[in-house]
Amino acid sequence: MKINKKTILNVVLILFILSFFVTPIGYYGKIWLNRMFSFSPEVIETAERQQITDYDWKLKDEEWNFFNFEKSKGKVILVNFWASWRLPSEAELASIQELYDRYKGKMDFYIITNEEREPVEAFMDEHDFTFPLTYLIIGEKMPIDASNVPASYLIDKSGNIVIHEEGISDWSTGKVYRLLDELIAE
């Protein structure tokens, strides 16, 4: 029996698609696809921006110590809600790491999860993420919505929500860098 090129290509294509479901190649391929199809977050028009008026929000830091969000009042802030078990979160966190490397010390980062400490630390070590972790305290009042994961907020020094993005975004872009440079300079 003679096999033609079309049949061989179809078999290769089917095997490639199956690899996304039954091999580690698929897991990394899904992360790559999520990154490839993530774009810069959209900036909210000035007239439509909502303002945070209550910064009284209790959180936990990496050492599991309580602190208050009020310490960031008057600063540019990135808040990102994520979960280690959500594939889009993992894809997005790589761009947040690049953003953190570029802007640490110039603005505050709240990369927030509601998971237990051990799996989160293992996840951070596995991916070489060094941004500061923040743990959500369930039941505490919050100035922003944490019901969707991943979700991100960029807040200016006056407390205006400049970006609110649900789902994955690419935070390591020239558009975001220019915006942050403007907000930090204000």
pLDDT digits (tens, 9 = 90+) for 28-87: 666 666 666 767 788 899 999 999 989 999 999 988 899 999 999 999 999 999 887 765
Name every residue whose Cβ is closer than 8 Å to that of residue 71 and which is 6 or more positions away in sequence. Answer: 108
The reply to whether 21 and 76 lie within a common domain is no
The confidence score (pLDDT) of residue 137 equals: 84
93 has pLDDT over 70: yes
Residue 153 CB-density burial (10 A; 0-12 exposed, 13-18 middle, 19+ buried): buried
Residue of higher predicted confidence among 108 and 20:
108
Give the CATH number for residue 53: 3.40.30.10
Q: Tell me the three state secondary structure of residue 107.
A: strand
The reply to whether 14 and 54 lie within a common domain is no
Domain tally, the chain: 2
The reply to whether 17 and 44 lie within a common domain is no
The reply to whether 18 and 49 lie within a common domain is no
- CA nearest neighbour of 107 among 40, 162, 39: 162
Helix (H) or strand (E) run with residue 72 in it = none
DSSP letter string over 116-176? -HHHHHHHHHHHT--SPEEEE-TTS--SS--SSSSEEEEE-TTSBEEEEEES----SSHHH
Full domain range(s) for residue 12: 5-34
Which residue bears the tokens 């630390």? 121
pTM of the predicted protein model: 0.80
The confidence score (pLDDT) of residue 46 equals: 92
The reply to whether 9 and 70 lie within a common domain is no
The reply to whether 45 and 89 lie within a common domain is yes
